[in-house]
Amino acid sequence: AQKITQTQPGMFVQEKEAVTLDCTYDTSDPSYGLFWYKQPSSGEMIFLIYQGSYDQQNATEGRYSLNFQKARKSANLVISASQLGDSAMYFCAPPRQLTFGSGTQLTVLP
């Protein structure tokens, strides 16, 4: 069965520092992708960024970027210049998104 793994239940980062959140996808499908979502304490799910396995370059959206390592089947989310508003749960998920990772609770410290 395909499995999505986020190994960090909680992470802390100092404001203005960069932080990396891990996500790996155990799949035999050579063509796949990974999505990242943010869930702040208000509860809504917000799409952040996506990368497919055949994309040539790592995806970037503002302060969010993906460190995509095809051999490891990982797409780690990098948040640069963390802000207090980045404190939230972060989930990764494959296409069709039948399964989400267990999430990482990120806390940005002032």
Partner 1 sequence: DTAVSQTPKYLVTQMGNDKSIKCEQNLGHDTMYWYKQDSKKFLKIMFSYNNKELIINETVPNRFSPKSPDKAHLNLHINSLELGDSAVYFCASSPGSGYTFGSGTRLTVV
State the minimum distance, in angstroms, from the CB of residue 10 to partner 1: 11
Measured between alpha carbons, how far is 29 from 27 in angstroms, rounded to an integer?
Answer: 5
In 3D space, the residue among 73, 77, 67, 76 whose CA is nearest the CA of residue 26 turns out to be 73
Nearer to partner 1, 42 or 110 (CB): 42
3-state SS, residue 89:
strand
Measured between alpha carbons, how far is 78 from 83 in angstroms, rounded to an integer?
Answer: 13
* Tokens at 36, concatenated: 């990242």
State the minimum distance, in angstroms, from the CB of residue 86 to partner 1: 17
Contact 23, 75 (CB under 8 A): yes
Nearer to partner 1, 45 or 81 (CB): 45
Task: Check binding of 40 to partner 1 (CB under 8 A).
Answer: no
Q: Indicate which single residue of 24, 65, 68, 91 sits in contact with partner 1 (rule: CB under 8 A).
A: 91
Q: Which residues bind partner 1 (CB under 8 A)?
A: 33, 35, 37, 39, 43-47, 50, 89, 91, 93, 95-100, 102-103, 105
